[in-house]
Amino acid sequence: MILSIPTKIPQSNFKISHNEGLFLIGSCFSQNIGHRLKEAKFNISSNSFGTIYNPISIAENLHRLLKVKHYDGNDIYNYKDEKLVNFSNQSSSHKIDESAFLMKENDKLAADILALNQSNTIILTFGTAWAYEWKETSQIVANCHKIPNTFFSKRLLTVAEIVTKYDELLNHFKTKNIVFTVSPVRHAKGGLHENNLSKSTLHLAINELMNKYENCSYFPAYEIVIDELRDYRFYKEDMIHPSDQAINYVWDKFSETYFEPSTLDLVEQIFKIKNAAAHKPFNYESIGHKQFVAKQTELINKLKQTAPYLDFEQEISQLNQQN
């Protein structure tokens, strides 16, 4: 008996491995999958700008990295001497020290410029096509920073302006693999009809871009959660965000799509070692536990011989503390 509609996911024409660079930016999928990729010891840079929901702000941040455009005083807004905010990302500070704030922002930017240049694959997650413009400058902001909504105008982005913005960007990324996703998180605050208009706009824009650029593909995280897992048991208590079980299911589908069998096997070994290192024994002094620690250390050393680019410093430290 079939109890759900399985999402048909074609095998990717490229694969992701541990010795390649990954750059993730955007909404919740980038955060959730990015966390699992990091735990699996992939070489990633994930959401250092914070969660960014609309595709225009995602593109603007990527443009900044490409142009090596550092932040200056024009990028920082002092709200009532209560906090400094950067409308390009999620950063804010209640310490009113513009120089220190800019230095911190530009340090993160420098790391992101390097990570983007070294990446082989870029994963972009669009969350919503509803955008907020700062009335004073008409800038589409990445985050409103809890400033009253009277300072902003809300509007629905068009498919054409999203495509035009990414035309400028994707011409610079012809040698990289681009994976688009749409966040399955419903933006229900404005109502489900607004959410559906938004998600439809994102899907149409991505479809146009995929038809124009051979290096662009789509991973159906949205369809997996909304259609295949359409049961509230796969959601958190707010009935909007996917549960850990749902995120794990999406991760499994992502792994099957983008990992070679050898990479899947390596990820399995990594998680076994991580779980072993996090193990809390009943008796740290027992012979059995000391043998367990020695065996795990041996497994790490053996794995590093075949995959020297993997960093097990944290797990070795955990095991040494148990010894």
Is the pLDDT at 37 greater than 90, yes or no?
yes
Examine the pLDDT at 28 and tell me if it is beyond 90.
no
Q: What is the dihedral of CA 91, 93, 97, 101, to 10 degrees?
A: -20
pLDDT at site 123? 97
Average pLDDT score over residue span 131-154: 96
Is the pLDDT score of 1 beyond 70? no
pLDDT tens digits for 66-113? 999 999 999 999 999 999 999 999 999 989 899 999 999 999 999 999
* pLDDT attached to residue 11: 87
Q: Would the pLDDT of 38 be above 90?
A: yes
What pLDDT sits at residue 292?
A: 86
Range scoring the smallest mean pLDDT among 75-89, 106-120, 126-140, 268-282 = 268-282
pLDDT category, 27, cuts 50, 70, 90?
very high
Question: What's the whole-number mean pLDDT along residues 15-38?
Answer: 93
What average pLDDT does the segment 143-161 reach?
A: 96
Average pLDDT over residues 273-299: 85
Average pLDDT, the chain: 93
Task: Please say whether the dihedral angle defined by the alpha carbons of residues 104, 143, 199 and 204, taken in this order, is positive or negative.
Answer: negative
* pLDDT for 177: 98
Q: What is the DSSP letter of 75?
A: G
Cα–Cα distance, 203 to 182 (Å, whole number): 7
Distance CA 180, CA 43 (A): 19
pLDDT of residue 293: 85
pLDDT at 166 over 90: yes
Average pLDDT over residues 227-231: 91
Reported confidence tier of residue 281, pLDDT bands at 50, 70, 90 = confident
The predicted structure's pLDDT at residue 285? 77
* DSSP class per residue in 15-72: ---TTSEEEEEESHHHHHHHHHHHHTT-EEEE-TT----SHHHHHHHHHHHHHT----
Confidence of residue 303 (pLDDT cuts 50, 70, 90): very high
Mean pLDDT within 264-269: 97
